[in-house]
Amino acid sequence: MATGSVWTNSGRNEIHQTITGQDTKTISRFIVGTGTTTPLITDTSLTARVAGFTRKAFDVGYPIFDTGNVQATIKGTLSTTEANGNDIGEVALTDTSESLIWTHDVYTSLTKNTSTEVIFEWIYQIRNG
């Protein structure tokens, strides 16, 4: 079982294009999968996306921007009715077009069922140096 978290090349490129005014895409959705392969910066999709699970918007009120700490918090929830019967082991941030994944996170799988709600939270901070 591999674990890890990366910003993909595509995601980093989109951030650059947004900052320089070349694009207006924003991270606004997440997708889940059952893959267990170590994430790579060259990934363009999840290893094994959960069939029938479409991209899902972040929880209401997110992202939260903390300008004092130069930090963004993103939160997304899989309810008790979503992605059941799957061993969820990967998640990615994407945009509304879902033409690429911005990040790819792999973790120890958990079996999703009707008594399980899964909350994903990402905290990103910009630092000097």
Q: pLDDT value at position 127?
A: 77
Question: For the chain, which ranges sit under pLDDT 70?
Answer: 1-2, 129
Q: pLDDT value at position 60?
A: 96
Q: pLDDT value at position 2?
A: 64
Neighbouring-strand partners of residue 66: 71
With beta carbons less than 8 A apart as the criterion, state whether 74 and 6 touch: no
Q: pLDDT value at position 37?
A: 92
Q: Position 34: which residue type?
A: T
With beta carbons less than 8 A apart as the criterion, state whether 79 and 112 touch: no
